Amino acid sequence: MSYGKRSLIKVVILGDSGVGKTSLLNQYVSKKFSNQYKATIGADFLTKDAVVDGRIVTMTIWDTAGQERFQSLGVAFYRGAESCVLVFDVTSPISFKSLDSWRDEFLIQANVRDPENFPFVVIGNKVDLNTRSISTRRAEAWCRSKHNIPYFETSAKESLNIDLAFQTVAKNAILQDIESQLFSELPPEIKLNGKDQKRKNECQC
């Protein structure tokens, strides 16, 4: 099977420490899961190819530290991102409450031109646990309030909905890129000043 044009997009994963960002990434890229928790120091990244409408999309996915002391490093990793994945733990109300600050910080640090239309995706992770405290309805309501961000509930342990979530990440980033290119290629608006307009009106040709 042949594919068309290859695209490269940068994706940043954000969320509090312990919500499962690294586990989601490892499950998506390597199909591996570990119960041993190891905090990310600074940031790390992996790459993964996806196919969107016949186009190969190579995603460089940055896994960032959730600890507050590392957040100052964010600006170096946020710039140039075509998509951002916000992750919370459905058993942790604090991590859900933090989504606002993570989103706001990204928009500021990444210097996003059109915040309302930037392709975020929200993931509620750890749905395999029985101690859930954030309902699907509540999470979806938050996403609707932020310009209808796509929302997925996942389990890194059981590999639930992870491929679907990142396929949406790739697709929305590509759509945003295409729309940006179309907008940038539009010819500049031509305005006639008063003198030119007068000459046009006087012309009897």
DSSP state for residue 188 in the 8-state scheme: P
pLDDT for position 43: 60
Pick from 56, 44, 26, 59: nearest CA to 162: 26
d(CA 119, CA 136) in angstroms, rounded, equals 20
Domain ranges for the chain: 6-202
pLDDT at residue number 54: 87
| pLDDT tens-digit readout, 137-192 | 999 999 999 999 999 999 999 999 999 999 999 999 988 766 554 334 444 544 55
199: left (phi over 0), alpha (psi -120 to 50) or beta: alpha
pTM of the model: 0.81
Q: Is the pLDDT of residue 63 over 80?
A: yes
In CATH terms, the superfamily for domain 6-202 is P-loop containing nucleotide triphosphate hydrolases (3.40.50.300)
Q: Which of 161, 100, 87, 91 is nearest to 132 (CA)?
A: 91
Q: pLDDT digit string (tens) for 75-126?
A: 677 889 999 999 999 999 999 999 999 999 899 888 888 999 999 999 999 9
